[in-house]
Structure 1
Amino acid sequence: MTWTIYLSGEIHTDWRDQIKQGAEENGLPVAFVSPVTDHPASDAAGDMLGKPENGFWRDHQSSKVNAIRTKSLIENCDIAVIRFGDQYKQWNAAFDAGYCAAMGRPYITLHNEDIVHPLKEVDAAAMAWAQTPEQVVEVLQYVTTKT
C-alpha cells in the first residue's frame, strides 16, 4: 500500500522538502500532496473569475477556488501533517486540522513548544505532535512499515 500524506500549513520554510527527503531516504511507501504553496498564486486563485475591487471578496473568491484542491486532497489522504510555523499565524492550517478532526482523518501537528498553549485543542485532536520534520518521518516510518 502507498500511503498518501497531505502536507498542510506554513509555506515559508523547507519543512516539506525535509520530510520528503527523509521518507525517500528511508524507502517509505508514501506519496505526498499539498495545497498550492506559491503564496501569490494562492492569493490570486480566483482572479480568473473576475478580480473584485474589495479585498475581502477577492480573498473569499480565491479561498473557495483553493478549497477545491484542499478539500479533495484532505478527503483522499491517509494522514495529514499540519505545520504551524513561527513567522505567521497559519489560520488556514488550523482550519485544515479542524476539517481533519471533523472527518476523523488522522493528522500529525508539527510546531515548536512555544505555541503548545494556543494550539491545545488542535493538538488534542491530533494523533501525534512533532517538533521536527525528522520526528514526522519517524512516525511515518513506524505507521507505514512496522508489522
Structure 2
Amino acid sequence: MALNIYLSGEIHTDWREKIISGARGLDLYFTSPVTDHDASDDCGVAILGAEADKFWHDRKGAQINAIRTRKAIADADVIVVRFGEKYKQWNAAFDAGMAAALGKSLIILQPPEHDHALKEVDAAALAVTRTPEEVVSILRYVETGVLPG
C-alpha cells in the first residue's frame, strides 16, 4: 500500500531524516515544507520585492509557502506534525487543523510538556507520539500489518 506522507512542523532538528531513514524499504513518499528557515522566511520579498514593514514581509512569505503546504496536505494520505521544544509552531497547529478539517489521517509528534497546550490538536489526531521511531512503527504497521519487534 503506497502512502504519501507530509512531514509538517518544527524545522530545527533532524526528526524528518530519522523518520525517512527509519522507513526505508516501505512504499512511502515523503513531502515537507521548505526547511531552509531563511528561504522560507524571505521567499516573498526575494521573489516579489522588499517590504518596509515586517508584517508584510512575513505575510508575503507565508502566502507563497502556503501554495506548497496546501498542495502537500491535499495530496497526503497521512500528515505527521512535529511540535518542537524551542519555538511556538503556530504554522504547525494550522497545518494540523487543516488536515483534520480535510479528514486526513493525522499523527502528532510532541514532547509531554506540550500535552495540555495541544489537547485539542491531539484530540483530532489518530495518534500522539513522542519519538520519530514511534512514527516509523505506526507507518510500518499501517503499510504491512506487522507489529514492531
Superposition TM-score tier, normalisation by shorter sequence: over 0.9
Cα distance in 1 for residues equivalent to 2:3 and 2:60: 32
Output the CA distance in 2 between the equivalents of 1:67 and 1:46: 11
Q: TM-score, normalised by structure 2?
A: 0.95
Q: What is the aligned partner in structure 2 of residue 41 from structure 1?
A: 39
Q: 5 Å matches for 1:92-103? A: 92-103=91-102
Task: Please report how far the alpha carbon of residue 50 of structure 1 lies from its aligned counterpart in structure 2 after TM superposition.
Answer: 1.2
- The whole-number CA distance in structure 1 between the counterparts of 2:90 and 2:22 is 27
Matching residue of 1:51: 50
Aligned residues: 145
Gaps of 5+ in 1: none
- Superposed CA RMSD: 0.9
Q: Gapped runs of 5+ residues in structure 2?
A: none
Q: Which residue of 2 aligns with 1:140?
A: 139
Which letter does structure 2 place at the counterpart of 1:60?
A: R
Q: CA deviation at 1:67?
A: 0.2
Identical residues among aligned pairs (%): 55
For 1:1-147, what aligned pairs fall within 5 Å after superposition? 1-24=1-24, 27-47=25-45, 48-146=47-145
**In structure 2, distance between residues paired with 1:113 and 1:2:** 31
In the TM superposition, residue 103 of structure 1 has moved relative to its aligned partner by: 0.6
Normalised by the length of structure 1, the TM-score is: 0.96
Q: Give CA deviations for 1:59-97 in whole Å, capped at 9, x if unaligned.
A: 111100000000000000110000000011111100000
